[in-house]
Each structure stands twice: as C-alpha cells, then as structure tokens.
C-alpha cells in the first residue's frame, strides 16, 4: 500500500491547536467532510481557517464554527452561517472578509512564492483600510499579501495511490489552488485507484503537491 494512504485518525493527528488550516469547498461542495468530522471529534481549538465560506449550521466548515474550534476566519462570505456572524459580533472570533477573486489570488500567490497580488478590487472601501496602495501606470492598486497554511485539507473525486487528483465538476473550486499553499496537504478521496488508472491529461492536482490520502466515508 502507498505510504501516502493513512486513516483519518492519523490525518487529524497532524492538525494541532492554533494551526492555520485551508479547507476546500463552496458551501460544502468539494469539502472534506470525513476529515472535518474527525477534527470535531478530536476537539482542536483556536484554529485559523482559510476557506471560501463558513458553510451552514451542521455541515462541513460550519461544524467547526458551531463547536467553537475557530479563532479566526479568512473567507469571502459568512452569510449562510448565522453562527459565524454571532460569534464575530460578540468578538468570539475574528473575521477577515476577502473578495472571492482576491482570496483565490492570495492563495495562488502563497503557493507560487510571490509577494502578493495587485488588485483594484476594494479601493475606496474598508477592504483597503491599513493596506499598501501602489500606483502602476497611473492606476492605483491594493497590495494583497499571499496566504499560506500549516495544513490544507481537500476533497478529490478520484485519487490514485501516489496522490494524483481528479475533482468532480464544480467541486474543484478552491481545492487545486489550496493544494499548492500549505506545508502539509491531505486529500480526502471519494475513490482511491491504482497508479496508471487515471489519464495523465485529466489530472488537475499532481501528486507532488499531496502528502497524505484519506478514504472518504461521507454519505451526505
């Protein structure tokens, strides 16, 4: 068996209190639910999570919020999870809202080793407060700094035993870019297949980015 394939208990043992975690998905679509459920059982605390959104009450990322496991959220929106808003207003958690395209580009910058991305999105709004404004060819841009994490947890539809990943349609969303921007990358695989089964032309995330593979048991 591939040394990359581990059980979910081993996977979550690599996530400790206070870590920064990237979590793939868009309202739960493309999120690693098996790993998230195991994190809830483990009860890690004070996580910083980088994710598109905080989901809904009792699914995916939302479970981390409702179980008071998060101290900071970096996301593009939180409106589908009222608990996130409540905790933010009561100053239980810190929320950094980032325009969705900017969020993707900040993660991409972190994965590519860049110093950040220049964007006009947010100029003249609270998004720009405290950030460096740079002029290029008489146009102003916000310097948005790169994002990286200690661990990225992803969901792949089909993953071979070396870690090459195919995603399912729109479940791809943030997963590929998050695979490049963390010290440890763990993919939850809906299907684990032998090496050579996947057409190389269909691989979205190459195995070089993947440290560990966990079989999914999510039936939602």
Is 15 contained in some domain?
yes
Query: What confidence score (pLDDT) does residue 5 get?
Result: 96
Is 137 contained in some domain?
yes
Query: What confidence score (pLDDT) does residue 58 get?
Result: 80
Is 92 contained in some domain?
yes
Is 115 contained in some domain?
yes
Query: What confidence score (pLDDT) does residue 2 get?
Result: 74
pLDDT < 70: residue spans in the chain: 1, 219-220
Query: What confidence score (pLDDT) does residue 1 get?
Result: 57
CATH label of the domain that carries residue 117: 3.40.1080.10
Is 3 contained in some domain?
no
Total-model pTM: 0.95
Q: Which residues contact 161 (CB under 8 A, 6 or more apart)?
A: 1, 2, 4, 5, 192, 193, 194, 195, 213
Q: What is the DSSP letter of 172?
A: G
Neighbours of 35 (CB within 10 A): 25
Q: What is the CA radius of gyration of the chain?
A: 17
Contact 150, 187 (CB under 8 A): no
Is 2 contained in some domain?
no
Structural domain boundaries enclosing 97: 8-215
Q: Buried (b) or exposed (e) across 154-170, using 16+ Cβ within 10 A?
A: bbbbbbbbbbbbbbeee
Domain count of the fold of the chain = 1
Is 140 contained in some domain?
yes
Query: What confidence score (pLDDT) does residue 70 get?
Result: 98
Report the C-alpha gap between 143 and 131 in whole angstroms: 7
């Amino acid at each position: 068996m591939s040394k990359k394939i581990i059980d979910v208990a081993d996977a979550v043992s690599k996530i400790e209190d206070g870590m920064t975690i990237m979590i793939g998905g868009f309202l739960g679509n493309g999120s690693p639910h098996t790993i998230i459920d195991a994190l809830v059982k483990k009860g890690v605390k004070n996580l910083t999570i980088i994710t598109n959104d905080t989901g809904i009450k009792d699914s995916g990322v939302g479970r981390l919020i409702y179980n008071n496991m998060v101290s900071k959220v970096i996301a593009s929106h939180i409106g589908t999870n009222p608990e996130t808003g409540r905790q933010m207003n009561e100053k239980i958690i810190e929320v950094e809202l980032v325009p969705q395209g900017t969020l993707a580009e900040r993660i991409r910058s972190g994965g590519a080793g860049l110093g950040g991305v220049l964007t006009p999105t947010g100029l003249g709004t609270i998004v720009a407060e405290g950030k460096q404004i740079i002029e290029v060819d008489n146009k102003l841009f916000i310097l948005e700094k790169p994002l990286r994490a200690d661990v990225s947890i992803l969901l792949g539809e089909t993953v071979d035993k070396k870690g090459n990943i195919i995603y399912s349609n729109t479940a791809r969303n943030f997963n590929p870019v998050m695979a490049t921007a963390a010290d440890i990358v763990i993919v939850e695989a809906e299907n684990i297949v032998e090496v050579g089964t996947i057409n190389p032309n269909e691989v979205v995330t190459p195995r070089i980015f993947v440290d560990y593979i966990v079989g999914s048991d999510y039936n939602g």
